[in-house]
Amino acid sequence: MNFDMRPENRDLLDRVVAMIRDEVVPLEDAYHGEIGKGDRWSYTDRQAEILEGLKAKAKAAGLWNFWLTDSAKGIGLSTVEYAYFAEEMGKTPLGAEVFNCSAPDTGNMEVFERYGTQAMKDHWLARLLDGQIRSAYLMTEPDVASSDATNIRMSCVRDGDDYVLNGEKWWASGAGDPRCKVYIVMVKTGGVDLPKHNRQSMIVVDAETPGIEVLRPMQVYGHDDAPHGHMHIRFSDVRVPAKDLLLGEGRGFEIAQGRLGPGRIHHCMRAIGQAEAALEQMCRRSLQREAFGKPLASLGANYDIIAECRMEIEMARLLCLKAAWYMDQGDKRAAAPWISQIKVVAPRVALKVIDEAVQMHGAQGISQDTPLANAWTHVRTLRLADGPDAVHRRQVARAELRRYTQEPV
Ligand SMILES: Cc1cc2nc3c(=O)[nH]c(=O)nc-3n(C[C@H](O)[C@H](O)[C@H](O)COP(=O)(O)OP(=O)(O)OC[C@H]3O[C@@H](n4cnc5c(N)ncnc54)[C@H](O)[C@@H]3O)c2cc1C
């Protein structure tokens, strides 16, 4: 088991670290300060200038689309190598997008690349790879427990050369962005006569198709996350050409598994980056600020807290690299329990570290004056998004129990 990076990729990583430090971080405050000036769901000229300017620099420097780990189109990183890049990008909110590595686009691009027709690749994938447009993934529905995707019931009925879609989706991340032009939607095409994992399908929907209505942004602890957003969307008699159904009816689960595996581990890698950033802030604060005549670091159990945070981050990173290594072996089934383990562990560790960093900052820690409060809310959502903890723990336990019984578990 090898967690090393090839020397040429180490150099690439150093360039990413330098660009984040020297060019991205200095513009973060200016970028976020623009949100709410005018329409929250569009980009101000200054915001667009910052974001597109950084993207253009990254692309020109060849620092682009690192996530394409097993494709000729990408730089050719292994998943293990990409883990180090994702961790760095996770340290700052704009990090992933500047290098065209952000969710949900990476997962959606993967779907287009693996399962899309040539027409989809030309029309959607090319523009996504180029960073011209963005996309959303619509699986979760308000009326059903969506952690069990066999419950997904948006109707999708064949009518001539089209499918007609009716129903509601919510928590469609990124669908608030005016650049979001395409949705990949999980729908129900089959009934009880089919095995339960063959009843759902995935269909590609142009976001501007008549009948699509964005009802509202869902809020994360009171934040709407504009202009990205997590949208609640209604489909009323939305006609989609039948050729836009991916792979064929009943193959939605197959695609969902292909899509969510890499996406889950990318979230974890970035969460470890957020934990590292929080630990750095905690340490700096604890050395700079004094109470009772001593730096905060020397008071109470603060040395222990810092040490525990360091140790937990190291353990989480190693588990993440191990899951990435399993993915690189090409056996998705063998990798799945490892991905589930890290999907539980990484957000848990990151939340703990960020929470301790908040505590070390006193009241300022929960305010808008540090990135910590925002980081905490973001990482908290990871315990739900892409499968709640309980569902992943179940996967881990089933893999464990299968070692001791031939019976279905
Ligand atoms: C910020 C954010 C962004 C998101 N982005 C997207 C997106 O872009 N696209 C999208 O489709 N969805 C998205 N989601 C939705 C997310 O994937 C779902 O919320 C998640 O799959 C859970 O589905 P649910 O909310 O219907 O919860 P439910 O399925 O109702 O589950 C609720 C709870 O039941 C318990 N539970 C469920 N299964 C088990 C089990 N097997 N064992 C024990 N307990 C269990 C767990 O405690 C679970 O949290 C996002 C969510 C958030 C918060």
pLDDT in tens, 89-144: 999 999 999 999 999 999 999 999 999 999 999 999 999 999 999 999 999 999 99
DSSP state of 92: S
Q: How confident is the model at residue 330 (pLDDT cuts 50, 70, 90)?
A: confident
Residue 16, token pair as written in the block: 């990413």
Distance from first CA to last CA of the chain, Å, rounded? 29
- Mean pLDDT, to the nearest integer, of 6-21? 95
Ligand 1 — pocket residues by CB below 6 A? Answer: 104, 137-140, 145-147, 171-173, 220, 230, 381, 384-388, 390-391, 394
- Mean pLDDT, to the nearest integer, of 297-309? 98
Q: How confident is the model at residue 189 (pLDDT cuts 50, 70, 90)?
A: very high
Distance in Å, CA 385 to ligand 1 centroid: 6
Nearest to 273 by CA among 390, 136, 109, 101: 101
Residue 191, token pair as written in the block: 């009934």
Distance in Å, CA 132 to ligand 1 centroid: 30
**Is 275 within 8 Å of 354 (Cβ atoms)?**
yes
> Ligand 1: which of 171, 235, 255 to mutate, most ligand atoms within 8 Å of CB?
171
Residue 314, token pair as written in the block: 């190291």
Task: Render pLDDT for 233-265 as a digit per residue (tens, 0 to 9).
Answer: 999 999 999 999 999 999 999 998 877 777 888
Predicted TM-score of the model (pTM): 0.95
CATH of 7-116, one of 1.10.287.810, 3.40.50.2300, 3.60.21.10, 1.10.540.10: 1.10.540.10
Rg (CA), the chain: 22
Distance in Å, CA 230 to ligand 1 centroid: 13
Place of tokens 């525990």: 308
**Is 47 within 8 Å of 39 (Cβ atoms)?**
no
**From CA 361, how far away is CA 376, in angstroms rounded?**
14
Nearest to 136 by CA among 94, 99, 186: 186
> Where do the structural domains in the chain lie, given as residue ranges?
7-116, 135-246, 253-401
Q: Is the pLDDT of residue 64 over 90?
A: yes
pLDDT of residue 72: 67
Distance in Å, CA 384 to ligand 1 centroid: 5
Q: Whose CA is nearest to atom 38 of ligand 1?
A: 391
Q: What is the DSSP annotation of 312-370? A: HHHHHHHHHHHHHHHHHTT-HHHHHHHHHHHHHHHHHHHHHHHHHHHHHTGGGGGSTTS
pLDDT of residue 71: 66
- Mean pLDDT, to the nearest integer, of 381-395? 96
Distance in Å, CA 389 to ligand 1 centroid: 9
Burial class (CB in 10 A: 0-12, 13-18, 19+), 344: buried
| CATH superfamily, region 253-401 | Butyryl-CoA Dehydrogenase, subunit A, domain 3 (1.20.140.10)
Q: Whose CA is nearest to atom 48 of ligand 1?
A: 388
Q: Let me know how long the chain is.
A: 409
Which residues does 286 contact at the CB level (< 8 Å), separation at least 6? Answer: 295, 296, 297, 302, 306, 360
Is 409 strand, coil or helix? coil
Q: How confident is the model at residue 38 (pLDDT cuts 50, 70, 90)?
A: confident
C-alpha distances out from residue 158 to 150, 162, 239, 240, 249, Å: 20, 6, 9, 9, 10
**From CA 385, how far away is CA 230, in angstroms rounded?**
11
pLDDT of residue 262: 78
Does an H or E element contain 170, and which? strand 162-173
| CATH superfamily, region 135-246 | Butyryl-CoA Dehydrogenase, subunit A, domain 2 (2.40.110.10)
**Phi, psi (rounded to 5 degrees) for 188:** -105, 125
Q: How confident is the model at residue 36 (pLDDT cuts 50, 70, 90)?
A: confident
Q: What is the DSSP annotation of 19-34? A: HIIIIIHHHHHHHHHT
**Is 167 within 8 Å of 155 (Cβ atoms)?**
yes
Task: Render pLDDT for 190-230 as a digit per residue (tens, 0 to 9).
Answer: 999 999 999 999 999 999 999 999 999 999 999 999 999 99
Which ligand 1 atom is at minimum distance from the Cα of 175? 8
Amino acid identity of residue 39, one-letter, is: D
Q: What is the mean pLDDT of the chain?
A: 95
Distance in Å, CA 390 to ligand 1 centroid: 10
**From CA 270, how far away is CA 55, in angstroms rounded?**
19
**Is 264 within 8 Å of 326 (Cβ atoms)?**
no
Q: Residues 3, 344, 261, 89: is their CA dihedral positive or negative? A: negative
